[in-house]
Amino acid sequence: MRDLRTIAALLALAAAPAFAAADAASADAAPQALPPAFDEVDDVPMPDPDLWSRIRFGFALEPLDSPLVAEQEDWYASRPDYIKRFVDRGSLYLHYIVEQVEKRHMPTEIALLPVIESAFTPKAASRAKASGLWQFIPSTGKNFGLKQTWWVDKRNDIMAATDAALSYLERLHEQFGSWELALAAYNCGEGCVSRAIAWNQKHGLPTDYLSLTRLPPETRAYVPKLMAVKNIVLSPATYGIAIQADGTIKFDSAKFQAALASDPAGTVAAVQTIASRVQAVSATASDPVTGTVTASISSQQTQITNDQSAVSNWTTMLAAKRKLLTAQYTALVTTLGQLQNEQNYLTQQINAMNPSSSN
C-alpha cells in the first residue's frame, strides 16, 4: 500500500502545472521595449539630429499681432518646468506627428497643437469628455473613425488620433480658407466660427481670426497660445529657456533588462531591427546645414552593438537552461510512464487476490 501511495503522489506531481510555470510566466509578461502607444518597432520613427530645427523650418503661419500672444508667452516663459515636462513627453511622439504633418504639406505649427490640447499626455481627459493627445470629444471622434467602447478608446491611440486630427484640420482649412480660422473651429466647432463670421459680415466687419470678437474667450486665446509656443520654440533663448537640440530617444537600461528577461527572443529581434535601421540611416543621413553625419547616430549604433552582445549572451544561457529542463522533463515523463505500468500491474494483482473487490 505504501508503494501505491508513492505512485499516486508521483502521478499527481506529473499533473501539476509547475512544469508549465516558467513558459506561462514568459508568455504573460509583455516586454516594454517600445515607447508607449507604438505596437511595432517599424512604427517608431528614427530620431532626428535636431527635431526642433526641423519643426522651425516648417513654420508657415504669419505672426499674430495681438497682445494675447505676449500674455501667453509670459505665461509659458514663467513656467520652465511645465515646458520641460511637455518637451520630455512630446519627444516620444513628435517624430511621428511631424512626419505625418510633413506628408500632408501642413505647417509644422500644427505638430505643436498637442501642447495646447493635452501637453502631450496621451490619455488626458477634460470635463467636456474630450480625450487623448488631440482632445477629441466623443461625437467628433466617431465622425473621424475613432472607435469608443467599454474596452477601447481610439482617441487615446497616438497614430489613429493623429491621423484623425490632421484630417479634421485639413477639412476645416478647406472650409474656412485659413489655418487660424481652422484652428479656431477645431477648438469651438465649425458652427461657432461660422456664426461669428456671419455676425461680422452682417455688420460690415472683417472676417479674419482677430476680427471675430464674437468667438468665446477660450477660442480667442487658443491661436495666441499656439503662436506663443511657436515663438518660444523659434527662439527659446529670448525667453530664458533652453530646449535641447538633441532629438534622440534615451536608452533606458532598466526597461531593456526587464524586456530581455521576459522575452529574450522578441527583444533580440527588436534590437536587430533597430540596429539595421540605424545602419541604413547612418549610411545616408546627413545634417541639412553642415552636411556631416551626426554624432548622435554613431553613439546610438555603439549602444545598440553593446546591447546586442548582452542579448546574445542571455539567449545562449537561456537555450542551455531550456535544453537541460527539457531533458529532465523527458526523463521524468518516462519514469512516470513506467511507474504507471507498475501501478496497473499491482492493481491487477490485488484484484486477483480479492475477486470480490472487482465486482
Structure confidence at residue 283 (pLDDT) = 47
Please choose, from the candidates 79, 62, 152, 63, the residue with its C-alpha nearest in 3D space to the C-alpha of residue 115.
Answer: 79
| Catalytic residue of the set 73, 109, 117, 180 | 117
Question: Residue 70 half-sphere exposure, CB side, CA atoms within 13 Å?
Answer: 3
What is the residue-averaged pLDDT of the chain? 75
Q: Is 199 helix (H, G, I), strand (E, B) or coil?
A: helix
| Whether the predicted model's global pTM rises above the 0.95 cut | no
Q: Is 235 helix (H, G, I), strand (E, B) or coil?
A: coil
- The series of mean pLDDT values per 10 residues for the chain, 359 residues long, is 40 36 39 47 51 90 92 89 85 91 96 94 88 92 91 91 96 96 96 96 96 96 95 82 52 51 59 48 42 49 61 66 72 75 77 66
Please choose, from the candidates 89, 70, 88, 90, the residue with its C-alpha nearest in 3D space to the C-alpha of residue 78.
Answer: 70
End-to-end alpha carbon distance in the chain: 21
Compute the distance between CA of residue 117 and CA of residue 201 in angstroms, rounded to an integer: 30
Structure confidence at residue 15 (pLDDT) = 38
Structure-block grid coordinates of residue 191: 458652427
Structure confidence at residue 248 (pLDDT) = 35
Structure confidence at residue 300 (pLDDT) = 56
Structure confidence at residue 3 (pLDDT) = 43
Structure confidence at residue 261 (pLDDT) = 63
Compute the distance between CA of residue 220 and CA of residue 323 in angstroms, rounded to an integer: 68
Structure confidence at residue 183 (pLDDT) = 97
Q: Which residues of 56-89 are buried (b: 16+ CB within 10 A; e: fewer)?
A: eebeebeebebebbeebbeebbeeeeebeebbeb
**Does residue 98 contact residue 108 with C-beta atoms inside 8 Å?**
yes
Tell me which residue has cell 499527481.
Answer: 12
180 a catalytic residue? no
Indicate the CATH number for domain 51-245: 1.10.530.10
- Span 294-348, pLDDT tens digits: 454 555 566 566 656 656 666 666 676 677 777 777 777 777 777 777 777 777 7
Structure confidence at residue 167 (pLDDT) = 96
Compute the distance between CA of residue 44 and CA of residue 39 in angstroms, rounded to an integer: 9
